[in-house]
Amino acid sequence: MVLEANNVTKEFLRKRADSNVFCAVKDADLALEEGKLTALAGRSGSGKSTLLHMLAGLLKPSSGRILLKGQDLYGLDDRTQSALRNKEIGIVPQGQSALQALTVRENIVMPFSLCRTGAPDDREITERAEALMKRLGITDLADAMPRELSGGELRRMAIARAAVMKPGVILADEPTADLDDENTKIVLDMLKELSREGTAVLLVTHERDALPYADEVYRMQDGKPLPEKDKN
């Protein structure tokens, strides 16, 4: 098991008619394994991104634990947690996430620039970035600025950035939203390939087309991911 949510709950303070607390994720368990692509479906507002952010080390659960390779992610000090997260977890966030002042290539190698301890060397990372851009069909855009890219190109850039450190886990939050069929296929094939290479991949998706790519499908229901019986 690479990354595991153990009985996690997330409550938000929010004014509602009956109470001030809103529970977005409740007593959720989810285990992401090496070499597996796990899909997480569910209606809008069902808590998918909230769970993903907790798994990513970006949002502390109200209760419960997130274990990364057996280590309690939120029990670590800030510096250790950031270093571990940067090395082991690649994130493709929902929506726009490019740094506008950097080129496409610079955006992709960003996780490496942020944290060099225990990281591969410059040459290895440059070669990996080039290989990822080639596989994703964005080599020609390496020196372009993010504002010059289409939505699909930006998404492919985000996937290259998530994969560049060869993390143990990739968490992708609706990476195919708003993409045409061709880009959707490129993105899903890439995530599948990364999982076959041994990465644990979580794919949050609305798209039914994506489900056949998954080894396991879960659906968020009452704040919990429940296994789907028939994934197709």
Ligand X SMILES: Nc1ncnc2c1ncn2[C@@H]1O[C@H](COP(=O)(O)OP(=O)(O)OP(=O)(O)O)[C@@H](O)[C@H]1O
Residues near Mg ion, by CB under 5 A: 48-49, 94
Nearer to Mg ion, 169 or 171 (CB): 171
Residue whose beta carbon is closest to Mg ion: 49
Residue 209 site contact among ligand X, Mg ion, none (CB < 5 to 8 Å, cut-off depends on kind): none
Residue 95 Cβ vs Mg ion, minimum distance, rounded to whole Å: 9
Residue 196 site contact among Mg ion, ligand X, none (CB < 5 to 8 Å, cut-off depends on kind): none
Nearer to ligand X, 89 or 129 (CB): 89
Q: What residues contact residue 142 under an 8 Å CB cut-off, 6+ apart?
A: 103, 104, 105, 130, 133
Which residues of the chain form contacts with ligand X (CB under 6 A)?
12, 14, 22, 24, 42, 44-50, 94
Nearer to ligand X, 38 or 86 (CB): 38
Contact between 8 and 63 under an 8 Å Cβ cutoff? The reply is yes
Residue 24 site contact among Mg ion, ligand X, none (CB < 5 to 8 Å, cut-off depends on kind): ligand X
Nearer to ligand X, 46 or 176 (CB): 46
Q: How far apart are CA 205 and CA 217, in angstroms?
A: 10
Residue 44 site contact among ligand X, Mg ion, none (CB < 5 to 8 Å, cut-off depends on kind): ligand X
Residue 195 site contact among ligand X, Mg ion, none (CB < 5 to 8 Å, cut-off depends on kind): none
Residue 45 site contact among ligand X, Mg ion, none (CB < 5 to 8 Å, cut-off depends on kind): ligand X
Residue 207 Cβ vs ligand X, minimum distance, rounded to whole Å: 11
Residue 30 Cβ vs ligand X, minimum distance, rounded to whole Å: 14
Nearer to ligand X, 20 or 80 (CB): 20
Three-state SS sequence of the chain: CCEEEEEEEEEEECCCCCCCEEEEEEEEEEEECCCCEEEEECCCCCCHHHHHHHHCCCCCCCEEEEEECCEEHHHCCHHHHHHHHHHHEEEECCCCCCCCCCCHHHHHCHHHHHCCCCCCCHHHHHHHHHHHHHHCCCHHHCCCCHHHCCHHHHHHHHHHHHHCCCCCEEEEECCCCCCCHHHHHHHHHHHHHHHHCCCEEEEECCCHHHHHHCCEEEEEECCEEEECCCCC
Residue 206 Cβ vs ligand X, minimum distance, rounded to whole Å: 6
The residue written with tokens 């209606």 in the block is: 43
Residue 173 Cβ vs Mg ion, minimum distance, rounded to whole Å: 6
Residue 28 Cβ vs ligand X, minimum distance, rounded to whole Å: 11
Nearer to Mg ion, 47 or 152 (CB): 47
CA angle 34, 205, 160 (to 5 degrees): 60
